[in-house]
Amino acid sequence: MQILVVNAGSSSLKLSVIGDGQETVASSELGSPADRGVIDEMLAFVAAHPGVRAAGHRIVHGGPHLSEAVVVNGGVRATLDEAAAIAPLHVPPALRILDALAATNLTHVACFDTGFHARMPPAATTYAIPAEWREHFGVRRYGFHGLSCAWALRRAAELLGRSPAELRLVVAHLGAGASATAIRDGHSVDTSMGFTPLEGLVMATRSGSVDPGALLWLQTSGGVGAAEMSAALEHESGTLGLAGTSDMRDVLGRASGGDPAAILARDVYVHRAAAVIAGMAAALDRLDGLVFTGGVGENAAPIRAAICERLAVLGVAPPDRPPPDGDGPLNVPGSRVPLLLVHAREDLQIDLEVRRLLG
């Protein structure tokens, strides 16, 4: 049986067909899910692969009620609308694609980025805010990049020759979105993203954590409205706000040439990443490995090295060999903390979850 994996972002739609042996049969990256032409291209792509029997949809946020992969029926679809209200930038594009594919003769399975974090302890999920906000509005920490973390755990266990359930890992997913996650007993026990994917690390266009007092001051004294603030924090901050570019390759190239803004962007990015990774390690009783994944984590060797230099207190040493072509170790055996590179494959994790659910 072939599985169609659907990953709908706000600006692009990624499709892949995965075979029984987890081989990629076909893949395509299309434009915005909001474009009618993209919908037509997607339907044509599906029609061209009659061996597909089910579709696994990446849903960034499952809300308070959905965490495990689930076959989409009327009740599930209604619950997803509630999740869309919590994550208006991330869930609606996925639901738009899900609805467009509903007429096809496929079984549709929703797979959630928040699911891997569903068993985090209350100490990690709870904000120190008034009870009404927590209980009535449901404001809590959910965590994201869970599909990437689940795949990273699976691959790290294979590389280390150990059971996933026994490993204590920190996974640094460094891409356009960035997060760090502490993993114990096969699931997340702490992670840097919270109620939304804005919290935590500096990202390509997202700010990461900012003093809420500063945001309140901007609203009350600076006249910055909610829509303007949302747009700025989501799309105009991060390395883009610091250096004028969201591409880490540009940041590193300009920094090596002495550009002050790029140097600042690089150093802020590394400072925050190292501090948060160290914080994640504090949620574990030992550290069996540090995993780098995501576009920056996989490809920006200077960023990996700079982060590791700041983590010497944890027994982490900078990588001493070039990254492998595939997944693999970044340092020689005997290092106190193994460093691993795992290529992000949310599509394969979704494929696994769909097959597990459908038997």
pLDDT digits (tens, 9 = 90+) for 304-357: 999 999 999 999 988 877 777 889 999 776 679 999 999 999 999 999 999 999
Give per-residue pLDDT as tens, 61-87.
Answer: 999 999 999 999 999 999 999 888 887
Q: How far is CA 213 from the centre of its chain?
A: 27
When pLDDT is averaged across residues 283-300 and rounded to a whole number, the result is 96
What percent of the chain stands above pLDDT 90? 89
CATH number at residue 90: 3.30.420.40
The domain of 197 spans: 157-346
Would you say residue 201 lies in a domain? yes
Q: Which residues contact 267 (CB under 8 A, 6 or more apart)?
A: none
89 in the same domain as 208:
no
Would you say residue 141 lies in a domain? no
CA distance 31 to 48: 19
Backbone Cα Rg of the chain: 20
Instruction: Enter the tokens of residue 248.
Output: 């880490």
Tell me which of 15-29, 84-98, 148-162, 242-256 is least confident: 84-98
Longest alpha-carbon distance in the chain: 59
**Local structure of residue 284 (DSSP, 8 states):** S
When pLDDT is averaged across residues 165-184 and rounded to a whole number, the result is 97
168 in the same domain as 101:
no
99 in the same domain as 26:
yes
Look up 35 and say whether it is catalytic.
Answer: no
pLDDT at residue 352, as a whole number: 97
Judged by DSSP in three states, 249 sits in: helix
314 in the same domain as 259:
yes
Number of Cβ atoms within 10 Å of the Cβ of 14: 16
pLDDT at 241 over 80: yes
Cα distances from 327 to residues 152, 180, 242, 342, in angstroms, run 10, 19, 31, 5
Cα distances from 353 to residues 104, 150, 185, 314, 357, in angstroms, run 21, 10, 19, 34, 6
Give the confidence band of 90 by pLDDT, cuts at 50, 70, 90. Answer: confident
Number of structural domains (the chain) is 2
Q: Which residues contact 54 (CB under 8 A, 6 or more apart)?
A: 1, 3, 4, 106, 107, 108, 109, 354, 358
Among 20, 113, 320, 351, the one annotated catalytic: 113
